[in-house]
Amino acid sequence: MNLIYTRTKTIQEDKVSGFCPGCMHSTVIKLIGEVIEELNVVDKTCCITGIGCCGLHMDYIAYDTITAPHGRACAVATGIKRTNPESLVFTYQGDGDLAAIGLAETLSAANRGENFTVIFVNNGIYGMTGGQMAPTTLIGMKASTAPAGRNAKEHGYPMHMCELMNVLTAPYYLVRTSCNTPANVTRTKNAIKQAFKNQLEGKGFSMVEIVTSCPTNWGMDALSALDFIQDKMLAEFPLGVIRDKSKEAD
Ligand SMILES: Cc1ncc(C[n+]2csc(CCOP(=O)(O)OP(=O)(O)O)c2C)c(N)n1
């Protein structure tokens, strides 16, 4: 029999994922691991995780991780990358971590054009703490802190992080993908690989925003959550390359 797939060695075999059914953190972690392995940089990779479900994978991956205080992943990554310029450094953050408590650190690192990669897992809600409203929660979407649904007058509008960064001069590569279909999973892997390659070539700051689901806190089963991504999340957060400086004329 031909071997057509093997599990990435960056995920330890004897550990079991603690993610809820339908949670896409495990998909994204697998993709990151495959890319790290394909680029042959397992031994020089350091992941800075945010606080939240996004940090749960640190127990079962085979490359180095550091957990930053809530929201401070980009500040910690700045220090790690500047002192270890040969390492592949990336942050792995949820929307609460990256766009709420960590907004200043995130935008400041992007504005400085730090040479690391941000993997931003946007599930539209605070996952770990029980479904509080995040900056990316959709209008009308219920959250434990907005039981009647988000309304713009009281809570403001969903925040588009790629577009916000796109007004800054420094960022090199800004892309939004999803994992709701097999084709989008492949696109996400390609985007992560491109972002990591940019860093290894010293090009500066890249962010891959991945629109995902949180079936548990959305109050849905995993399949309904896929429909919700397609119909609602992607209407608010359109997929595509927002900036790619490698394609710009000199
Ligand atoms: C300074 C601080 N404030 C609040 C918390 C509580 N807290 C833990 S995780 C979390 C939200 C995480 O949500 P998100 O970043 O969207 O990640 P997810 O769990 O959805 O992956 C919060 C508010 C904390 N740990 N530290």
53 Cβ contact partners less than 8 Å away, ≥ 6 residues apart? 19, 23, 25, 94, 127, 128, 214
Do the domain assignments include residue 18? no
What confidence score (pLDDT) does residue 166 get?
Answer: 98
What pTM did the predictor assign?
0.97
Do the domain assignments include residue 79? yes
Using CA positions, which residue lies closest to atom 12 of ligand 1?
A: 52
Residue 50 alpha carbon to ligand 1 centre in Å: 8
Do the domain assignments include residue 3? no
pLDDT tens digits, one per residue of 66-87 = 999 999 999 999 999 999 999 9
Q: Do the strands 173-178 and 240-244 form a parallel or antiparallel pair, or are they unpaired?
A: antiparallel
Do the domain assignments include residue 160? yes
Using CA positions, which residue lies closest to atom 6 of ligand 1?
A: 129
Only one residue has tokens 């985007």, namely 191
Total domain count for the chain? 1
Token pair belonging to 101: 């408590």
Residue 164 alpha carbon to ligand 1 centre in Å: 22
**Residue in 53, 125, 128 to alter for ligand 1 test, most ligand atoms within 8 A of Cβ:** 128
Using CA positions, which residue lies closest to atom 10 of ligand 1?
A: 52
pLDDT tens digits, one per residue of 170-212 = 999 999 999 999 999 999 999 999 999 999 999 999 999 999 9
Tell me which residues of the chain have a pLDDT lower than 50: none
What confidence score (pLDDT) does residue 250 get?
Answer: 62
Do the domain assignments include residue 37? yes
Q: Are 107 and 75 in contact (CB under 8 A)?
A: no
46 phi and psi, to 5 degrees? Answer: -135, 120
The domain in which residue 215 lies consists of 25-244
Residue 141 alpha carbon to ligand 1 centre in Å: 19
- Ligand 1 binding pocket (C-beta < 6 A) is 50-54, 70, 94-97, 123, 126-129, 134
Residue 96 alpha carbon to ligand 1 centre in Å: 6
Q: What is the CA radius of gyration of the chain?
A: 17
Cα 30 to chain centroid, rounded: 13
CA distance 219 to 53: 17
Do the domain assignments include residue 15? no
Only one residue has tokens 């990336």, namely 90
**Residue in 20, 23, 25, 70 to alter for ligand 1 test, most ligand atoms within 8 A of Cβ:** 70
Do the domain assignments include residue 19? no
What confidence score (pLDDT) does residue 212 get?
Answer: 98
- In degrees, rounded to 5, the angle at the alpha carbon of residue 80 between the alpha carbons of residues 74 and 103 is 5
What confidence score (pLDDT) does residue 187 get?
Answer: 98
CATH label of the domain that carries residue 124: 3.40.50.970
Angstrom distances, CA of residue 80 to CA of 21, 115, 133:
33, 11, 31
What confidence score (pLDDT) does residue 235 get?
Answer: 98
Using CA positions, which residue lies closest to atom 9 of ligand 1?
A: 52
Using CA positions, which residue lies closest to atom 5 of ligand 1?
A: 70
Q: Are 102 and 192 in contact (CB under 8 A)?
A: no
Do the domain assignments include residue 97? yes
Using CA positions, which residue lies closest to atom 20 of ligand 1?
A: 127
Residue 246 alpha carbon to ligand 1 centre in Å: 34
CA distance 122 to 214: 9
